Amino acid sequence: MLMIGGCDSASTPPGGPEMMVYEAARKRMVRDQIAARGVKDDRVLAAMARVPRHEFMPASQRPLAYEDGPLPIGHGQTISQPYIVAFMTAALDPKPEDRVLEIGTGSGYQAAVLSGLVAEVFSIEIVEPLALRAKADLKRLGYGNVRVRVGDGALGWPEAAPFDAIIVTCAPERVPRTLVDQLKVGGRMIVPVGPTGGAQELYLLRKHPEGMETQAVLPVRFVPMVKDR
């Protein structure tokens, strides 16, 4: 490479060649795994194309960051398949003024995707080292409207309730009543429900003045929502 005065900016794009490779992989991911499977919300597709998924995983997993599957993030937990993240995000119908609660911060990736689509994200993770790492990664990458707390997500975040939307990324055996109570009228909740290791179904709930509307939208497999450790 020709270097003049120690500067090679003409040949190296901002962020370097590695970033370009990741960006191209991310575009393919959005096209082939997400849009092709029917997620149509342009804001969600743009968020999926923007958020650097590889930054939310251990270095050893980064080459696989834009592959079509879940990946281990340590402590026996996983970062969900990109399509599932996009599907759940779109199902929430996120609006710029929304305040959203997430249960199961994990890597922080889902929270980062939501960060650019809504006003505020509150995320709860029960495994402390995961919560601390996600918090640090979200801060390092500039996702300033995400707050992470260590705790049992089944209890929700009462001081910040009610929420416009709630996304649960671990599977309870039934929908926690406390979370339903922390949803605004007109609010949406997406939650995988079912026994550990058994058949789970992703449910989309809508809170109407006259009561809850519940719709099964996709068979899924998530890690269980645990109570305490």
Q: Nearer to ligand SAH by C-beta: 153 or 194?
A: 153
Q: Which residues contact 148 (CB under 8 A, 6 or more apart)?
A: 105, 108, 111, 123, 124, 125, 131, 134, 135, 138
CA 224, 101, 184: angle at the middle one, nearest 5? 115
CB atoms < 10 A from the CB of 72, how many?
A: 14
> Hey, which residues are catalytic here?
80
Tell me the closest approach of the beta carbon of residue 14 to ligand SAH, in angstroms.
27
- In contact, 186 and 207? CB cutoff 8 Å: yes
Tell me the closest approach of the beta carbon of residue 223 to ligand SAH, in angstroms.
5
User: What is the C-alpha to C-alpha distance for residues 55 and 107, in angstroms, rounded to an integer?
Assistant: 9
Backbone angles phi, psi at 37, to 5 degrees: -95, 5
Tokens for 90?
A: 């779109």
Residue 198, H or E segment: none
Q: Nearer to ligand SAH by C-beta: 16 or 158?
A: 158
Q: Nearer to ligand SAH by C-beta: 176 or 187?
A: 176
Residue ranges in contact with ligand SAH by CB under 6 A:
77-80, 103-104, 106-107, 109-110, 124-127, 130, 152-154, 169-170, 223, 225-226
Q: Nearer to ligand SAH by C-beta: 65 or 205?
A: 65
User: What is the C-alpha to C-alpha distance for residues 125 and 123, in angstroms, rounded to an integer?
Assistant: 7
Tell me the closest approach of the beta carbon of residue 131 to ligand SAH, in angstroms.
8
Q: Nearer to ligand SAH by C-beta: 179 or 205?
A: 179
Tell me the closest approach of the beta carbon of residue 7 to ligand SAH, in angstroms.
38
Tell me the closest approach of the beta carbon of residue 75 to ligand SAH, in angstroms.
7
Identify the CA nearest to 188 among candidates 208, 210, 166, 156: 166
